[in-house]
Amino acid sequence: MSLWSLALANVWALRRRLVGLVVLVSAAVAVCLGAFAITDRAQAVTTSDVKESTANRSITIDPPGEGSGNPLLTARSVKELSELPRVESVQYRLQASFGLVTDDGNGPLLYATTYRAALPPPVVDAVRDDLFPLRAGEVVLPSRSQGFDLTPYLGKKVTATTTRFVREGEGTGVDQPVTVVGLYDATWQLDNPDAAYADDATVIRWAAERNGRPVKDFVDTVGYDQLTVVAQKESDVPGLTRQIQDRHYTATTLRQVLDTLPGILELIRVAGQVLLVVLGLLAFAGTVTATGALARRRAQEIGILKAVGFRTRFVLALLVAEMSLVAAVAAVVGVVLGVGLAGAGAAGLRTVPELKPYVEQALPLPSAGLLLPLVAAAVLVVVAGSLGPARRAARMSPTQAMKDW
């Protein structure tokens, strides 16, 4: 009978006594794998997004200064820039001020803003999952603005007061209902403080009325407040920026510094690392205890093996092989439990809007680069813990082993 077949037979015979060690090791693997699987997938998403995110591939074009002679940011500019090589899209921003009338008749002054997919606001609450593109008469407000808490107005109709041009220096207020369909984190101000997002047609109409221009000609004559050119690849940005600047546009690259992980995911990863060390030590201690206890209970068996001619090296290898098999079984059980734990944890994290983009997978399976080292570490910890007691047991003489050791 070979070493491994004999070790397997012994493990099966001693399975009840080894349950505690299997539970300890599998729990250690499951907890660590559950934490690492979530953060590993989140890190992969973040790394990919940072490398080729639209923000990292974006070039911002500001309107020309007065008297500069640079071209206006009109619909013609959008068409011209869209035709440049290595351009994925050209997205425009236009803003028009309006007053929000709250229940008590007061409210903040906000700026209706067109939505750009390259710079989406961090929505914290919404009436539906697919919020953008917005429909006519819908707005997304900051959660707070100018001391006003706007969260109670989610899902409700409110009044927006805009200004219509009458003559130079004179305008009249126009009230119209809008529906609040979303709220975003007010600390995000890449579209200027107090931006409120509305559908493109509404923003253009409000801006045209305020300037006293025909709506149909507004984007061809007055134009937009800002353009965002999105390159096909991050490496295309420098060359594309030079091409745009050569056309006398005020172009700058936008480099958002993104954290590798949100705070709670970073906390989970650190906790997983701490648990890996703690549970590793517990598994090591548990293995030492279990191997020593089994060796004492199996003293007569070891004595018989030594008496019939098995060498110390074989007995040592047999005991270690048994623990290796136990560790492998525990690791497999731990992987199954860990994947389930990761799935449950990811489901809970997806209920948090800020974390949902990082844990989109229903079952965040860990990468092979994470899974294999973790399983190997579990087996090595158990093997290392078994070496000391197994060596002492294997060195016993047949006479000593046959006694009640």
Structural tokens at position 326: 């136990």
Strands 95-101 and 148-149 come out as: unpaired
Rounded to two decimals, what is the model's pTM? 0.52
Residues 203 and 114 sit within 8 Å (Cβ to Cβ): yes
Q: Give per-residue pLDDT as tens, 201-241.
A: 999 999 999 999 999 999 999 999 999 999 998 889 889 99
Mean per-residue pLDDT over the chain, rounded: 81
Q: Tell me the C-alpha distance between 320 and 237, whole Å.
A: 58
Instruction: With a cut of 50, say whether residue 190 has pLDDT above it.
Output: yes
Q: Report residue 5's pLDDT band, with 50, 70 and 90 as the boundaries.
A: confident
Kindly list the distances between the CA atom of residue 209 and the CA atoms of 135, 175, 192, 212, 368, in Å, as whole numbers in the listed order: 20, 13, 22, 5, 59
Kindly list the distances between the CA atom of residue 183 and the CA atoms of 98, 131, 249, in Å, as whole numbers in the listed order: 17, 10, 33
Secondary structure element (H or E) that encloses residue 77, with its range: helix 75-82
pLDDT at 10: 76
Q: Tell me the C-alpha distance between 14 and 116, whole Å.
A: 65
Which of 76-85, 254-263, 290-299 comes out lowest in average pLDDT?
254-263
Cis peptide before 133 (omega within 30 of 0): yes
Which of 94-98, 158-162, 176-180, 279-283 comes out lowest in average pLDDT?
279-283
Start-to-end Cα distance in the chain: 27
Q: Give per-residue pLDDT as tens, 243-256.
A: 999 999 988 885 53
Q: Tell me the C-alpha distance between 83 and 87, whole Å.
A: 7
Strands (E), 185-302: 195-198, 226-231, 250-253
The CA-CA-CA angle for residues 191, 192, 198, to 5°, reads 55
Structural tokens at position 225: 């407040």
Task: List the chain domain ranges.
Answer: 3-51+261-402, 54-253
Q: Report residue 135's pLDDT band, with 50, 70 and 90 as the boundaries.
A: very high
Sequence-ordered list of residues with C-beta below 8 angstroms from that of 396, at least 6 positions apart, any chain: 299, 302, 303, 306, 405
14 against 84, higher pLDDT:
84
Which three-class secondary structure string do you get for 85-98?
CCEEEEEEECEEEE
pLDDT at 359: 62
Q: Which of 2, 208, 5 is nearest to 96 (CA)?
A: 208
